[in-house]
Amino acid sequence: MSDACHRHDVLILGSGAAGLSLALRLPETLSVAVVSKRELREGSTLYAQGGISAVLDAGDSIESHVQDTLKAGAGLCDRAVVRHVVERGPDNIRWLLDQGVEFTRDTEHGAGATGGYHLTREGGHTHRRVIHAADATGRAIATTLEGQVRDRANVTLYEQHIAVDLITARHLPGYGEHRCLGAYILDLGSGRVETFLARFVVLATGGANKVYLYTSNPDVSTGDGIAMAWRAGCRVANMEFMQFHPTCLYHPQARSFLVTEALRGEGARLLLPDGERFMPRFDPRAELAPRDIVARAIDHEMKRLGSECVYLDISHRPADFVIEHFPTIHARCLELGIDITREPIPVVPAAHYTCGGVMVDRQARTDLPGLYASGETAYTGLHGANRMASNSLLECLVYSEAAAADIVRLSSEVPPPPEVPNWDESRVTEPDEEVVVTHNWDELRRFMWDYVGIVRTNKRLRRAKRRADLLAQEVIEYYSNFRVGNDLIELRNLLEVADLIIQSALRRRESRGLHYTLDHPLKDAGQRTPTILIPDAYQPRKGE
C-alpha cells in the first residue's frame, strides 16, 4: 500500500496548451500541481503545426468566423458557444503574445491590418485568420508556456506520472457531498501509486487518437481523461466524431508526422500517383474543403486505385517561400530524401482529433462538482460534427481561462478534501504475461482502424463492439490481479474510449460530418442533436 499523499488547491492532469495556460492564469496564492505523463511539453500541442484561428484582420469579422465554424460543424455546433469562443479569440492571442510566444511576422506587407503578423488560410475558412509560428506553432506555444510555468513558485510539476483514476466521494462511504477529491497517480519512476488530493481537479489530458492504428498524435493520446471521467460518472458526447487529418507523411521512417493543412492553404495540390489533381471532382472548394471531405476523398481514391498513398505538391511555389513558411516539413522531408521544393510529398489520412469528449458547461465544469475539463478532453459544443482547422488551440485557451476564473471565484468556498484511503496493492502481484497487454493493444488499434474508421457500416460497428467487449473482459481480469503499469493503464482507458466511440456511432443512423456510414449515407434532419452517453454512476448536479 502506498503511503505518499500530496495536497494542492488545484490538480491539473495534462501539460499541453490547456493545462499550462490554466496553471499560468491561476493566482500565485493557490498551490497548483501539474501532472504530465512524460516530459512536460510532450503532448499534442507540441506537434501542432498550423496555428490558431482568430479574427485579427480588418477585412475579416467575428460573424464570418462564426459562420465558417457552424458550416464545418454540419449542423451540430452550439451556436452560442461558437460565438463565445470566436469573440474571445483576439484577447487570447494577445495573452499568448504577452507570455512571449513569437508568431511569424508579415515581412511582405508590414504592420498593415493584421498588426504585423502573417495570417494563413486553412480548410473551411473563408479568410486568412490563422496566426502561426512558421509551421511549428504548437512547439512555440508549448516551449514558451513551459518556460513560464517552471518559474512559478506556486506550481509543482510532476513529470513521468500517469493518473490511474479519479478520487470521488464514493471512495469515502458516508461522505455527504458528491464531488471530485483528487486522483490516484502512478509515479513511473518509483512504480508506486500515490494519492493526490485537491479542492479542484482539471482534466487536460488531450484526445484519444491512439485508439487507431494510424494517427498523427504522439503516444500519450490515449483518452485517459475521457475514460476516467466516464468511470467517475460524467456524461460524454459526440464520441463518434473522430477527425482524420487528410495528410500525414507516408514513409516507413516517419511515424506520425503531420503535414500541416497550411500547405494547402498556400496552394498545395493533392495528386494521384499519375499526377492527376482529384479534389475538384469531390468539392468546389477543392483542397480547401473541410477535413472530413478531403480525408474521405483521399480514402476513396486510394481504395479505388489500390494505392498506398496520394501526393501533396507545393513545388510550383517559389522554393524560398516554401522553405521560409514550412521549415519543419522541409527539413524533415529532406532527411527522408524528399525535396518538397521540387517533388510532391507522399501522404495518407490518419486519426487526428477527438471532437467529442467529457461534457462541460461554459465554465468548463463537468457533471462532477470539483472536476473541470479543457481542450481535446472536453466536449464544449464548439466543433459539432467536424472541427474546423486551427479552432482547437483557441478552444484550449478560452476554456482554460474560464476554468481558472471559476476556480478563483469558488476558492474561498470549497474546503480541502478529507483523508481518503490510499491505493491498495495488497492483493495484486507482478504481471506475469505482459504479452497479453501488447497483443490486446495491437488488436484494438487494428480493428478500430478497419471497422470504425473513415467509412463505417453497421456490420463493421457490431463486429467492433463484440471484439471490444471481449478485450475489455480480459483487461478487467488482468487489471484486478496484477500491479498497474503505464501500458495497462493506457490500454484500459483506450478500451473504454473505443467502446464509447462504437456505441455513439451505432446510435447515429445517418452520415454527418466526420461520421460517414454506407448504410445511412444521407443526413437526417431529425438527428441534429448531440449523441450523449450517460454512465451508470451519473448523478445530476444540484438544481438540474
pLDDT single digits (tens) 224-259: 999 999 999 999 999 999 999 899 999 988 877 889
Bridging pattern class, strands 161-168 and 52-53: unpaired
For 425, counting Cβ atoms within 10 Å of its Cβ (0-12 exposed, 13-18 middle, 19+ buried), the class is middle
Write the CA distances from 482 to 189, 398, 408, 427, 488, integer angstroms: 18, 41, 40, 8, 10
Contact criterion met (CB below 8 Å) for 234 and 259: no
The three cell numbers of residue 404 are 481558472
Domains and CATH numbers, the chain: 5-240+355-410 (3.50.50.60), 244-352 (3.90.700.10), 434-522 (1.20.58.100)
pLDDT grade, residue 111 (50/70/90)? low
Average pLDDT of the residues of the chain: 93
Report pTM: 0.92
Q: What is the pLDDT of residues 346-383, one digit of tens each?
A: 999 999 999 999 999 999 999 999 999 999 999 999 99
Sorted by sequence, the CB contacts under 8 Å of residue 147 that are 6+ apart come out as 100
Q: What is the pLDDT of residues 177-217, one digit of tens each?
A: 789 999 999 999 999 999 999 999 999 999 999 999 889 89
pLDDT of 93 above 90 = yes
Q: How many of the other CB atoms lie within 10 Å of CB of 215?
A: 26
Which pLDDT belongs to residue 494?
A: 97
Which pLDDT belongs to residue 311?
A: 98
Beta bridge partners of 456: 517
Q: Which of 39-53, 77-91, 307-321 is predicted least confidently?
A: 39-53
Which pLDDT belongs to residue 392?
A: 96
pLDDT of 287 above 70 = yes
Nearest Cα residue to 225 out of 385, 360, 403, 330: 360
Return the SS3 of 162. strand
For 411, counting Cβ atoms within 10 Å of its Cβ (0-12 exposed, 13-18 middle, 19+ buried), the class is middle
The whole-angstrom separation of Cα 367 and Cα 373 is 10
The whole-angstrom separation of Cα 214 and Cα 351 is 6
The three cell numbers of residue 332 are 524533415
**Active-site residue 291, yes or no?**
yes
Q: 261 or 392: whose pLDDT is higher?
A: 392
pLDDT of 510 above 60 = yes
What's 307's DSSP letter? -
Contact criterion met (CB below 8 Å) for 104 and 231: no
Which pLDDT belongs to residue 1?
A: 41
pLDDT grade, residue 543 (50/70/90)? low
Which pLDDT belongs to residue 327?
A: 93
118-122, 247-251, 429-433, 465-469 — most confident range: 465-469
Which pLDDT belongs to residue 480?
A: 85
Nearest Cα residue to 500 out of 237, 252, 272, 321: 237
- Average confidence (pLDDT) over 145-151: 97
Q: 111 or 452: whose pLDDT is higher?
A: 452
pLDDT of 393 above 70 = yes
Q: H or E segment at 378?
A: strand 378-379
Q: Which of 269, 291, 296, 387 is catalytic?
A: 291
The whole-angstrom separation of Cα 49 and Cα 420 is 42
Q: What is the pLDDT of residues 450-504, one digit of tens each?
A: 899 999 999 999 999 999 999 999 999 888 888 899 999 999 999 999 999 999 9
Return the SS3 of 51. coil
Contact criterion met (CB below 8 Å) for 193 and 2: yes
pLDDT grade, residue 47 (50/70/90)? confident
The whole-angstrom separation of Cα 78 and Cα 528 is 11
Q: Where are the alpha helices (DSSP H) in 306-389?
A: 319-325, 327-335
| Summary count for the chain: helices (H), strands (E) | 15, 18
User: How is 6-51 classified by DSSP, letter by letter?
Assistant: EEEEEEEE--SHHHHHHHHHS-TTS-EEEE-SSSTT-SHHHH--S-
The whole-angstrom separation of Cα 7 and Cα 199 is 9
Which pLDDT belongs to residue 110?
A: 57
The three cell numbers of residue 538 are 451519473
The whole-angstrom separation of Cα 495 and Cα 497 is 5
pLDDT of 272 above 90 = yes
- Average confidence (pLDDT) over 13-25: 98
